[in-house]
Amino acid sequence: MNNKLYIHNSLSRQKEEFKPLEDGYVGMYVCGPTVYSDVHLGNCRTFVSFDIIYRYLMFLGNKVRYVRNITDVGHLEGDADSDAEDKISKKARLERLEPMEVVQHYSNGFHDMMRIFNTLPPSIEPRATGHIIEQIEMVQSIIDNGYGYEKNGSVYFNTAKFAQENDEYGKLSGRVIDDLLAESRDNLKNQSEKEHPADFAIWIKADPRHLMRWNSPWSVGFPGWHLECSAMSTKYLGQKFDIHGGGNDLKFPHHENEIAQNVGACGCSPAQYWLHANMLLMNGRKMSKSDGNTITPNQLFTGDSPHISKAYSPMAIRFFMLQAHYRSTLDLTDDALLGAEKAYRRLMEANKVLQGLAAAKGAQAGELDQEIDQLIDQAFAEMRDDFNTPKTLARLFELVPKINGIKAGHLDAKELSAETLEKLKKAFSDFIYVIFGLKDEMDAGDGDNSAMDGLMQLIIEMRADARANKDWGTSDKIRDVLKELDIQLKDGKDGTSWTIG
C-alpha cells in the first residue's frame, strides 16, 4: 500500500511527493495576519486549512515546527514611494493609540477567534517588530550582494537586476519581469525613488507623522512588508525549510518578493513546497465591505446578518470549510451552511453511536468487515492526496449508514470482527478530533453533565411509562417541551436517547 503523502506545490503547479529535508521533521511557515483590524472570515478559512495540514503532518508522525507570524509593522496601504501609510501606524494615529495598543488589541482578537475555531496555536508566533535587528541585517546582506540600493534613506530591492541574474523571479506567480516592465514603463517618468517600478522597499525612511521608527544604517525608519517573513522564517526554520503557506492573494507580490529577498540575501530559495489556500466567497462573489457583501465571524455565530437565516456554531463553520478542498474557492451561502450544519451533526452523532458499539459475540470478518476496512483505508488515502478533506469526508459518510445500520440491527454485527470495529472506532475518532479538529458542541456542559444525564434518564423513563400506558398526551408533552428547550429525543429499537440541538 502506498503511504506517501502528495502535496500540490504552487512552485511547480503540480502534485509532488512530500519529502521533508530531514525525515520525520517538518518546518512550516505560514503568513499570519496584519493586525490592524478584526480578523477577516476569509483569513479564518486560510488558517483553518493550514491547521488541518499541521494536524495531519503531526498525525503522520512528523515533528512539526509551525511558525506563523504576526505582521505588526511595514504593511503599507499603497506603494512605498507614493504617499502610502503603514496600516498600523495609521490606525494608531486615527484612534489616538500607541501602535502597540492597536497590535495587542487585534492580536488578542485574532487569538480568541483562532481558539473559537479550535485551531492549534503555532509552535512559534514571531512578530515583525520583535525582529527589527534581523531585518536590518537582511537588508544589509541584500545590499552587500548587490540587490539593494539606498535612496534618501530608504532601501529598495533591485528587482530588475535580480530577475536578470536569477531564474527565480516570477516562478511562483507566473509574472514575467519584462511584462511588468512593459506595463509600467510610462511610470518611470514619475518622480520616483525607485529605479524600476517592480522594485520594492525593504527599508523605509519614516516621515514625521509615522509613529513606528527604528534606527538603522540608512535612516530612522521601519522595515518593508515582505521582509519580516523572509527574516523570521530564516531565523526559526533556517535558510531552507519544507513548507511555506499562505492565502492565494499573497502569491504576488508578497511571496514572490519573499523568495527574491531570501535568494538575494543568502542565495537560496527558502521553501521546498509552497502551499496556497484559496479564497472564501459569499453568495458567489468576493466579500467586500463597500457593497455590503460581507460577514464577520461573530455575525455568523450570532446570526445577526441579513445574509443568514440563523446563527451557526463555530464547529459547523469549520466543518463547512472541510467540505471544500483548500485549493478551491469556497462559496458561503445560507443554504450551504444549513447543509453543513446538518451534516456535521450527523457525523458527530454517528461517531457517538460508533464509540458505544461492542463487538458481537462470535463475530467474524465477513463482507461487511471487508467493506468497512476498505473505506477506512480509502479515507486515509484521500488525506494523503493533497489533504483532500472533502473526499475523506465522503468516505466517512459512506461509513455512517453502516454504523447506524449495525446499531439498529439492519446490518449483521457478526460480520464485523472485533479488530475491524476497533480500527473503525480509532479511525473515526482520529479523523474527527485529531485531524479535522472538530469538537462536540452537542454535549451539554462537556464533562460535568452527570446531573443532566440523570435528569434526562428520569424524564425518559417517565415518558416510557406514559407511553406504556398509552398516555400520549403526557408523552408528547414531554417530547414537545424538551424540543422547545432544544433537546431532541430519539426513539430507537433499544430505547430512547437524546441530543442537544
Partner RNA sequence: GGUCGGGUGGCCGAGUGGUUAGGCAGAGGUCUGCAAAACCUUGUACGGCGGUUCGAAUCCGUUCCCGACCUCCA
Residues interacting with RNA, by CB under 7 A?
13, 79, 173-176, 179-180, 183-184, 187, 248-249, 251-253, 279, 281, 284-286, 288, 323-325, 328-331, 333, 335-336, 338-340, 342-343, 346, 349-350, 388, 390-391, 393-394, 397-398, 400-401, 404-405, 407-408, 410, 467, 472, 475-476, 479, 488-493
Q: How far is the CB of 50 from RNA (least distance, A)?
A: 16
Q: How far is the CB of 347 from RNA (least distance, A)?
A: 8
Nearer to RNA, 284 or 303 (CB): 284
Helix, strand, coil percent content, the chain, rounded in steps of 5: 50, 15, 35
- Check: CB of residue 230 under 8 Å from CB of residue 258: yes
Distance CA 315, CA 476 (A): 31
Q: How far is the CB of 83 from RNA (least distance, A)?
A: 12
Q: How far is the CB of 421 from RNA (least distance, A)?
A: 17
Nearer to RNA, 124 or 464 (CB): 464
Sign, CA dihedral 106-111-114-120, equals positive
Grid cell for residue 237: 526554520
- Nearest 5°: phi and psi at 206? -80, 130
Q: How far is the CB of 467 from RNA (least distance, A)?
A: 5
Helix spans in 117-218 (H): 132-144, 159-165, 177-184
Distance CA 287, CA 293 (A): 5
- CB count, 10 Å around CB of 266? 17
Classify burial at 500, counting beta carbons within 10 Å of its beta carbon; exposed 0-12, middle 13-18, buried 19 or more: middle
Nearer to RNA, 98 or 183 (CB): 183
Nearer to RNA, 215 or 355 (CB): 355
Q: How far is the CB of 342 from RNA (least distance, A)?
A: 4
- Nearest 5°: phi and psi at 448? -105, 60
Distance CA 270, CA 30 (A): 13
Q: How far is the CB of 449 from RNA (least distance, A)?
A: 20
DSSP 243-285: EEEEEGGGIIIIIHHHHHHHHHHHSS-SEEEEEEEPPEEETTE
Distance of CA 468 to the CA centre of its chain: 51
Nearer to RNA, 198 or 263 (CB): 198
DSSP-derived 3-state class of residue 21: coil
Q: How far is the CB of 488 from RNA (least distance, A)?
A: 6
Nearer to RNA, 112 or 183 (CB): 183
Nearer to RNA, 310 or 410 (CB): 410
Nearer to RNA, 13 or 96 (CB): 13
Distance CA 329, CA 323 (A): 11
Q: How far is the CB of 327 from RNA (least distance, A)?
A: 7
Nearer to RNA, 388 or 449 (CB): 388
Distance CA 114, CA 105 (A): 14
Nearer to RNA, 292 or 401 (CB): 401
Strands of the sheet with 271-277, listed across from one edge: 63-68, 25-30, 241-247, 271-277
Q: How far is the CB of 388 from RNA (least distance, A)?
A: 6
Q: How far is the CB of 386 from RNA (least distance, A)?
A: 7
Nearer to RNA, 201 or 211 (CB): 201
Distance CA 474, CA 466 (A): 6
Distance CA 461, CA 456 (A): 8
Query: Strand runs (DSSP E) across 78-193, as ranges?
Result: 148-151, 154-157
Distance CA 431, CA 437 (A): 8
Residues 6+ positions from 290 with CB-CB distance below 8 Å: none
Q: How far is the CB of 162 from RNA (least distance, A)?
A: 17
Nearer to RNA, 18 or 66 (CB): 18
- Check: CB of residue 274 under 8 Å from CB of residue 162: no
Nearer to RNA, 241 or 344 (CB): 344
Q: How far is the CB of 300 from RNA (least distance, A)?
A: 15
Distance CA 204, CA 404 (A): 63
